[in-house]
């Protein structure tokens, strides 16, 4: 069987975790993502994705506690990160950090669901610390901040990153984006994680592969690129002109189009609402929202390409005062929930992922000793 | 389109690098692998795989030199490795080491063939140093040995690993196994590398994913497991009995069977000849060879399953006095050539690898506030 290049449109396996439908909706474990983003918390949604159902109060309390307890990263890992070249890409910092975490987990190579579930919690919790403190140390030239076990996942992340407690509005806006980014069926990084899982390698190895894939500009890199574009516009008119000129040169605008969605990325309306809410308290954000809407309008009228989640998550983070080099890592810290669930599902229903290739190279060449070659 | 699970038998893309044919032959860039293993060197074959043709004398000299020049690993990387928990799995050491190497390469994120070719040479050269010195430090409690730029790749590896010059017979036997393991079309680790490459992430990220996948017991882990079994047999009779009993319990024997080859893994006859040659100088090796042949015979008469390369590479390494925890890493250090070539080919002909999944989970669930849940 010959599959289309990039496996576009090819169903390679089944999953009970999530689905992104071309018609423009996403389901996590039976629930519509838009409803979860509106009503659920990071912890609840992560529990849902990992366990297949929403938690009871007691289960949620326990889950929150295990996330909070596992935030500290071994000192050797932070020491290593502090010795990396200043301003190293944060996705490299993260891949190194998560790879190192594996070395310090004694149950790393236990390959059963119970153990992999414990590793999932450690991975989700510590990756957030690696992003926040990794940025402080490698980019900010600041000291790491000790995580606060009393705060929930989203509040704690913002607290560590900025060494300052964030407002409720900011925390909730941030938390909603984490829910939106948490899983997305067989996207490239999740698929990389599953390919590694299919060899029965450990959870940290699989997570490293997810991080490796998410670094790519065709995947996770888009939200940072979108913001680097948006921040340059001084007015709606300037944005409109620039986009038209760029399209005229047949160049790509980051944050638009999606392999799955032709009409609408269902995460966009939710993100747009978050940005709207933030713009009510801040005139800079209001201006940024206008610019986004203008760019979206031009892209639609000129090319009929709709924005994707990256295009609206970026200005939310910007409005929250989150530094641009952490945008893809933030995507990673929440996608770590999805990767972990997919790793567990892959191992539980495993078959080695080993495709074939069509050989289009030469055949029948005879080896000529080097002294007889030209 | 629905593909069979594990993408078994599915052609996902074309490649001009290598082909493994079910009929029992392997081609690297037009040349039969058995002929290359007999006549070619590690450097020549690596050049062939990376550049698509055998080198001239001058090209080979230059290639050798760039490999030799790039053997030193930044001190910070070795320092980090020396702080890992003693006896950490060598594939973890390697994944951490290669991830760190990326941080110190200033052209890391340049995405063009010329730059990726330079990175390939650095990756191939330094991974060998990471395996040899990583083992010395993390497992052996020894000091790292400075690579010797006058030696070729295979001699230098054995020299660093043991801090002793190996005999010509040993070097050549080792080198031949490196050629045999160098590439194998779209195996799981190469496919993981290509999935990461398809996001246009950098070469070090892609190599980390290859290393992550190769760690799995269903992929690279098999040669170590095969040797752990073989070393326990005190006689041919004991080996025969144990294999029969194990098969009777329906358990798996490592080093047998292959997704691609039904009849013969073409690397096996070559490896068997290497082991035969080694057994002529050493009675222990002669005994080990007899045990291998006996296990092969039982597996064939009872199950009609032929051995794969791992089953015969393992006793070669054992005969050369190479420590078992480095067997999979050795596979990795030579497969790094293949991964690099596939990464470059993927980037040059790129389309994001993003498959679909069939969603088999629930639908239509309504969010119930936590206080109303049971």
Residue contacts between A and B (CB atoms, under 8 Å): 367
Residues 6+ away with beta carbon under 8 Å from B245: none
Helices (H), chain A: 33-39, 42-51, 57-69, 75-82, 90-103, 113-134, 153-162, 168-181, 188-197, 203-214, 222-230, 236-248, 267-279, 283-303, 309-319, 327-348
Distance (Å) of CA A41 to CA A174, A178, B153, B162: 11, 9, 54, 55
Q: Could A213 and B201 be called an inter-chain contact, meaning their C-beta atoms sit closer than 8 Å?
A: yes
Q: Mean pLDDT, consecutive 10-residue segments, chain A of 374 residues?
A: 97 98 96 98 98 97 98 98 98 98 98 98 98 98 97 98 98 98 97 98 98 95 92 97 96 91 94 98 96 97 95 98 98 98 98 97 96 84
Residue B226: strand, helix, or coil: helix
Q: Which residues in chain B have Cβ-Cβ distances shorter than 8 Å to A18? A: 359, 361
Q: Which residues in chain B have Cβ-Cβ distances shorter than 8 Å to A185? A: 356-357, 359
Count of CA atoms in the C-beta half-sphere (13 A) of A281: 12
Question: Taking each helix axis from N to C terminus, what angle separates B113-134 and B75-82, rounded to the nearest 10 degrees?
Answer: 40
Residue in B closest to A222 by C-alpha: B199
pLDDT (tens place) for every residue of chain B, 374 residues total: 999 999 999 999 999 999 999 999 999 999 999 999 999 999 999 999 999 999 999 999 999 999 999 999 999 999 999 999 999 999 999 999 999 999 999 999 999 999 999 999 999 999 999 999 999 999 999 999 999 999 999 999 999 999 999 999 999 999 999 999 999 999 999 999 999 999 999 999 999 999 999 999 999 988 999 999 999 999 999 999 999 999 999 999 999 999 889 889 999 999 999 999 999 999 999 999 999 999 999 999 999 999 999 999 999 999 999 999 999 999 999 999 999 999 999 999 999 999 999 999 999 999 999 989 87
H or E segment and range at residue A13: strand A11-15
Does residue B265 contact residue B307 with C-beta atoms inside 8 Å?
Answer: yes
DSSP A137: I
Does residue A70 contact residue B85 with C-beta atoms inside 8 Å?
Answer: no
Angle at A9 between CA A8 and CA A12, to 5 degrees: 95
Q: Which of A101, A213, A225 to probe by mutation at the B interface, max B CB count within 10 Å?
A: A213
Q: Which residues in chain B have Cβ-Cβ distances shorter than 8 Å to A1? A: 1, 3-4, 9-11
Active site positions of A, annotated: 258, 310
Query: Rounded to 5 degrees, what are φ and ψ at B365?
Result: -75, 145
Q: Could B201 and A195 be called an inter-chain contact, meaning their C-beta atoms sit closer than 8 Å?
A: no
Q: Which of B153, B170, B258, B342 is catalytic?
A: B258
Does residue B285 contact residue B325 with C-beta atoms inside 8 Å?
Answer: no
Question: In percent, how much of chain B has pLDDT > 90?
Answer: 97
Q: Could B364 and A15 be called an inter-chain contact, meaning their C-beta atoms sit closer than 8 Å?
A: no
Residue in A closest to B10 by C-alpha: A1
Does residue A102 contact residue B92 with C-beta atoms inside 8 Å?
Answer: yes
Residues 6+ away with beta carbon under 8 Å from A62: none
Residue in A closest to B1 by C-alpha: A10
Q: Could A191 and B355 be called an inter-chain contact, meaning their C-beta atoms sit closer than 8 Å?
A: yes
Q: Could B209 and A206 be called an inter-chain contact, meaning their C-beta atoms sit closer than 8 Å?
A: no
Distance from CA of B65 to the nearest CA of A (A): 17
Distance from CA of B213 to the nearest CA of A (A): 4
Q: Which residues in chain A have Cβ-Cβ distances shorter than 8 Å to B362? A: 16, 29-30
Residue in B closest to A212 by C-alpha: B205
Q: Which residues in chain B have Cβ-Cβ distances shorter than 8 Å to A100? A: 80, 84, 96
Q: Could B373 and A54 be called an inter-chain contact, meaning their C-beta atoms sit closer than 8 Å?
A: yes
Q: Which residues in chain B have Cβ-Cβ distances shorter than 8 Å to A187? A: 354
Task: Provide ipTM, 2 decimals.
Answer: 0.97
Encoding tokens for residue A174?
């941030």
Q: Which of B105, B183, B265, B310 is catalytic?
A: B310
Q: Which of A41, A191, A201 to probe by mutation at the B interface, max B CB count within 10 Å?
A: A201
Distance (Å) of CA B234 to CA A117, B102, B286: 41, 45, 13
Nearest to A99 among B96, B192, B357 (CB): B96
DSSP B10: -
Nearest to A11 among B1, B80, B195 (CB): B1
> Closest by alpha carbon to A33, among A20, A23, A50?
A20
Q: Which residues in chain B have Cβ-Cβ distances shorter than 8 Å to A216? A: 196, 198-201, 205
| Rg of chain B taking only CA atoms, in angstroms | 22
- Tens-place pLDDT, residues A281-294: 999 999 999 999 99
Please state, in angstroms and rounded to a whole number, the distance separating the CA atoms of residues A332 and A313: 13
Q: Which residues in chain A have Cβ-Cβ distances shorter than 8 Å to B353? A: 6-7, 188, 191
Q: Could A96 and B95 be called an inter-chain contact, meaning their C-beta atoms sit closer than 8 Å?
A: no
Please state, in angstroms and rounded to a whole number, the distance separating the CA atoms of residues B92 and B84: 10
Q: Could B6 and A209 be called an inter-chain contact, meaning their C-beta atoms sit closer than 8 Å?
A: no
Distance (Å) of CA A280 to CA A167, A273, A318, B314: 15, 11, 15, 67
Task: Please state whether beta strands B25-28 and B18-21 pair in parallel, antiparallel, or not at all (unpaired).
Answer: antiparallel
Give the pLDDT of residue B62: 98
Q: Would you say the C-alpha torsion A210, A211, A216, A221 has a positive or negative sign?
A: positive
Q: How many CB atoms lie within 10 A of CB A372?
A: 6
> Closest by alpha carbon to B175, among B42, B22, B308?
B42
Residues 6+ away with beta carbon under 8 Å from A18: A26, A27, A28, A29, A49, A183, A184, A185, A338, B359, B361
DSSP class per residue in B13-72 = EEESSEEEETTTEEEETTEEHHHHHHH--HHHHHHHHHHSSPPPHHHHHHHHHHHHHT-P
Q: Could B216 and A198 be called an inter-chain contact, meaning their C-beta atoms sit closer than 8 Å?
A: yes
Does residue B18 contact residue B27 with C-beta atoms inside 8 Å?
Answer: yes
Residues 6+ away with beta carbon under 8 Å from B330: B131, B177, B178, B181, B317, B322
Please state, in angstroms and rounded to a whole number, the distance separating the CA atoms of residues A209 and A198: 12
Q: Could A19 and B357 be called an inter-chain contact, meaning their C-beta atoms sit closer than 8 Å?
A: yes
Distance from CA of A284 to the nearest CA of B (A): 33
- Tens-place pLDDT, residues B302-356: 999 999 999 999 999 999 999 999 999 999 999 999 999 999 999 999 999 999 9
Please state, in angstroms and rounded to a whole number, the distance separating the CA atoms of residues B228 and B359: 41
Q: Could B352 and A96 be called an inter-chain contact, meaning their C-beta atoms sit closer than 8 Å?
A: no
- Tens-place pLDDT, residues A276-322: 999 999 999 999 999 999 999 999 999 999 999 999 999 999 999 99
């Amino acid at each position: 069987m010959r599959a289309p290049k990039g496996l576009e449109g090819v169903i390679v396996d089944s999953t009970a975790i999530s689905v992104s439908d071309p018609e423009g909706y996403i389901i996590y474990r039976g629930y519509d993502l838009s409803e979860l983003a509106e009503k659920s918390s990071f912890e609840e949604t992560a529990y849902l994705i990992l366990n297949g159902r929403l938690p009871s109060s007691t289960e949620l309390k326990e889950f929150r506690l295990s996330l909070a307890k596992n935030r500290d990263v071994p000192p050797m890992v932070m020491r290593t990160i502090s010795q990396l070249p200043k301003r190293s890409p944060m996705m490299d910092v993260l891949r190194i950090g998560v790879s190192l975490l594996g070395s310090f987990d004694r149950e790393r190579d236990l390959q059963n669901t119970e153990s992999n579930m414990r590793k999932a919690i450690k991975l989700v919790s510590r990756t957030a610390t690696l992003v926040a403190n990794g940025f402080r140390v490698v980019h900010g030239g600041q000291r790491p901040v000790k995580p606060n076990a009393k705060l929930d996942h989203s509040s704690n992340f913002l607290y560590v990153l900025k060494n300052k407690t964030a407002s409720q509005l900011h925390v909730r806006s941030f938390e909603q984006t984490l829910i939106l980014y948490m899983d997305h069926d067989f996207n490239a990084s999740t698929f990389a994680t599953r390919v590694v899982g299919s060899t029965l390698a450990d959870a940290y190895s699989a997570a490293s592969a997810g991080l490796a894939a998410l670094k790519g500009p065709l995947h996770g890199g888009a939200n940072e690129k979108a913001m680097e574009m948006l921040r340059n516009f001084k007015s709606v008119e300037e944005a409109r002109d620039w986009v038209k000129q760029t399209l005229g040169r047949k160049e790509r605008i980051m944050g638009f189009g999606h392999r799955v969605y032709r009409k609408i990325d269902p995460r966009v309306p939710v993100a747009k609402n978050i940005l709207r809410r933030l713009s009510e308290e801040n005139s800079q954000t209001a201006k940024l929202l206008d610019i986004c809407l203008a760019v979206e309008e031009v892209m639609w009228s000129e090319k009929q390409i709709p924005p994707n989640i990256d295009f609206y998550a970026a200005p939310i983070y910007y409005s929250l005062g989150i530094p641009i080099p952490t945008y893809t890592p933030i995507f990673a810290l929440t996608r770590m929930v999805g990767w972990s669930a997919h790793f567990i599902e892959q191992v539980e229903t495993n078959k080695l992922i080993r495709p074939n290739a069509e050989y289009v190279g030469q055949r029948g060449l005879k080896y000529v000793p080097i002294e007889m070659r030209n």
